[in-house]
């Protein structure tokens, strides 16, 4: 596994989509370079904000390869490789390892609900066994509101006991901070990333390894100041930008704001089953964003 661990501000990078509904590699790479150069320590490629499960395995692999071919710093990138079929998850994780990604972010197999821990452990076991030749770090993706299946504490401990350092950490998108703190206490080597930049000062104090945030697509510079220097004003502004999306479709909203920020309407496109951000919401988010950005940060 990579000697350099992921940490700090990680944007759950949006996936630009071309006119044919496939990942737009050139736009994705441009956005990645912008984020890495403006406050992000790393990127989570093809996560929820990246609409991973809406793309085919071939499309996901193609974008993963494009990251490597573009010369992006692979030691700063994790990639979502979870899938409903274990064979797809194994193939995606093996491809990530071959390309040199720093970690694989793994959703549970999300179609069947109420499955026993034995089944989830077997799924992770298949991924571990399938990547023995190149043992990429595995980060569990805890998002029960969408997946319907939790990586609960006892199961995490079981996986760590079975597979050791291969189980490197967890992204917690549950919003349950007591759960995130409990998971972070499992081991010093187990890195937990809440999904909100609001945790950055707590993370900076040592509670977490950082954050993996959708809205870091739009406020990376502010998040970077909060993480690097403990800048509370910058963090307040970053959290205020995140708050603009409360009660609104987050992925479509982030992409609509990205289109505004980069003056590139193509960045707003989403993949079915998601739908375009409503025009009224777009206007409100842009107005709020501009107002927040007009404030001075010392």
Task: For residue 15, give the nearest of 42, 49, 54 by alpha carbon.
Answer: 49
Mean pLDDT of the region 65-76? 98
SS3 of residue 150 by DSSP:
coil
Q: What is the pLDDT of residue 298?
A: 52
- Distance, CA of 28 to CA of 35 (rounded, Å): 11
Residues 195-246 have pLDDT tens digits of 999 999 999 999 999 999 999 999 999 999 999 999 999 999 999 999 999 9
Residues 134-158 have pLDDT tens digits of 999 999 999 999 999 999 999 999 9
Domains of the chain: 8-230 (3.20.20.70)
Q: What is the pLDDT of residue 5?
A: 86
- Distance, CA of 49 to CA of 208 (rounded, Å): 21
Of 31 and 295, the one with more pLDDT: 31
- Does 1 score more than 50 pLDDT? no
Q: What is the DSSP string of 195-243?
A: S-GGGHHHHHTTSSSEEEESTHHHHHHHHHHHHHH--HHHHHHHHHHHH
Mean of pLDDT over the chain: 97
Tell me which residues are annotated as active site: 141, 171
Backbone angles phi, psi at 83, to 5 degrees: -160, 160
- Does 79 score more than 60 pLDDT? yes
Per cent of the chain over pLDDT 70 is: 98
Check: CB of residue 225 under 8 Å from CB of residue 216: no
Strands 77-80 and 8-12: unpaired
Q: How confident is the model at residue 297 (pLDDT cuts 50, 70, 90)?
A: low
């Amino acid at each position: 596994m990579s000697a350099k661990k992921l940490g700090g501000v990680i944007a759950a990078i949006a996936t630009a989509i071309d006119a044919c509904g496939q990942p737009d590699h050139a736009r994705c790479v441009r956005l990645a370079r912008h984020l890495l150069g403006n406050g992000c320590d790393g990127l989570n490629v093809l996560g929820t904000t990246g609409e991973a499960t809406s793309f085919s395995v071939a499309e996901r692999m193609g974008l993963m390869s494009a990251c490597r071919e573009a010369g992006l710093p692979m030691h700063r990138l994790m990639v979502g490789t979870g899938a409903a079929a274990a064979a797809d998850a194994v193939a995606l994780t093996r491809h990530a390892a071959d390309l040199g990604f720093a970690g694989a972010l793994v959703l549970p197999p999300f179609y069947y609900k109420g499955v026993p821990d034995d089944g989830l452990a077997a799924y992770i076991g298949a991924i571990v066994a399938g990547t023995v030749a190149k043992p990429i770090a595995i980060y569990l993706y805890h998002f029960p509101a969408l997946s319907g299946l939790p990586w609960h504490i006892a199961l995490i401990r079981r996986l760590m006991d079975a597979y050791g350092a291969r189980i490197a950490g967890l992204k917690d998108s549950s919003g349950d901070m007591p759960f995130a703190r409990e998971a972070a206490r499992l081991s010093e080597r187990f890195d937990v990333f809440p999904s909100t930049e609001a945790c950055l000062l707590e993370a900076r104090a040592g509670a977490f390894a950082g954050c993996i945030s959708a809205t870091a697509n739009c406020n990376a510079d502010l998040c970077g100041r909060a993480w690097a220097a403990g800048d509370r004003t910058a963090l307040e502004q970053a959290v205020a930008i995140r708050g603009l999306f409360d009660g609104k479709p987050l992925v479509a909203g982030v992409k609509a704001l990205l289109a505004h920020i980069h003056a590139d309407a193509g960045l707003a496109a989403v993949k079915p089953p998601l739908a375009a951000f409503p025009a009224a919401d777009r206007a409100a988010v842009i107005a709020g964003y501009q107002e927040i950005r007009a404030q001075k940060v010392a």
